[in-house]
Amino acid sequence: MNEFELIDFFFKSIPHDRSDVVFGIGDDAACLQIPAQTQLLVSSDTLVADVHFLSSWDAYDIACKAVMVNVSDIAAMGGSPCWLTLALTLPDYNQQWLQRFAQGLTDSLSRFNIALIGGDTTRGPLSVTLTIHGLVPANKAIRRSGAKVGDKIYVSGPLGAAAQAVVFLSRTDIDADDLHCLNQKLMHPNPRVDLAPVLQQFATAAIDISDGFSADLAHICDASQVGANLNLAKIPVHPLVENYQGNNAIEFALSGGDDYELCFTVSSADEKEFLHALELAGLTCYQIGIIEATPGLRARQLTGEVTPLDVKGYSHF
């Protein structure tokens, strides 16, 4: 199979149900119909073999993870994901691998009603770059820079499970059910697009938790020129992280990456209405701290003492 047959067979054939794709794969560029009164969100993420995933992973899982981390960036902006391009670099032609990869793409894209509209296919060390496009009502995109002194800090779900899964990647002595649950969190994160309508209305700033909670909250603080004070007793730690990390569990939840929950801020004046909207939507989020004027991150320890918090998270350089 040559490059063009490969594209047609594995990628052009992936179905979608979007009438706003005027045309997709097959021309020099795709053409999309953007509705009036909406704005376009664009974001790219690269996943490199043996950095973001193991080469030994099922290609189905690699495709799902690549889609989910990209969808998560659109979720963090309060948008809805619509279109995707795929720049794929492959070491060789492996039909079985491509079939599993295309199946992972098909399933994860249909879950969010996203169309694959183009890409690029090259030979080289295995890597997957997706560019996702989403829509948001005009001027409703949530930025990192909007947090104000007195805003409450929220997180959308339990933290630490993906980092725990990474620790267990080479272990063979872990309970199979626990390992399966943790690996699901690592390979199939659940991007929080379900929060978009509520966040559009109430969030003053938001970010998705990819590098590690404290590092990502620090990005909000830097962009907003504020600081944060957390209450460690309120941090939602994944129960398996509690089990395996014991006293270290909170530390783990604060610095572990790859959770793809959202961290966001809500003004105190809007908090009651926000909580009501969440409840109506059947969603739960956790209030874990408050924005303060003094730069930097602080945390109330379980002992009641407030101490500076080290910002730890993943950085490629």
- Does residue 221 touch ligand ADP according to CB under 6 A? no
13, 15, 21, 24 alpha-carbon torsion, rounded to 10° = -10
177 touching ligand ADP, by CB under 6 A: no
Residue 109 lies near ligand ADP (rule: CB under 6 A): no
Is residue 78 within 8 A of residue 196, CB to CB? The reply is yes
H/E run at residue 199: helix 196-202
Site pattern 147..166 for Mg ion (x: CB under 5 A)? --------------------
Cα separation, 163 vs 248, in Å, equals 13
For ligand ADP, the binding residues in 3-42 under the rule CB under 6 A are 7, 11, 25-28
Partners of 136 in the β-ladder: 39
Sole binder of Mg ion in the list 5, 27, 28, 92 (CB under 5 A): 28
**CB of 68 vs ligand ADP, minimal distance in Å:** 18
Three-class secondary structure of residue 222 per DSSP: helix
Q: Any idea what the Cα angle at residue 89 is, between residues 83 and 93, rounded to 5°? A: 115
Q: Which stretch binds Mg ion (CB under 5 A): 21-29, 94-102, 279-287, 301-309?
A: 21-29
Partner from ligand ADP, Mg ion, none binding residue 202, C-beta < 5-8 Å depending on class = none
* Contact (Cβ atoms closer than 8 angstroms) between residue 302 and residue 232: yes
The number of angstroms, rounded, from the C-alpha of 278 to the middle of its chain's C-alpha atoms is 20
Tokens at 203, concatenated: 């969030």
For the bound state, the minimum distance from the C-beta of residue 27 to Mg ion, rounded and expressed in Å, comes to 8
Distance in Å, CB of 83 to ligand ADP, minimum: 11
Query: Residues interacting with Mg ion, by CB under 5 A?
Result: 28
Query: Residues interacting with ligand ADP, by CB under 6 A?
Result: 7, 11, 25-28, 86, 88, 116, 118-121
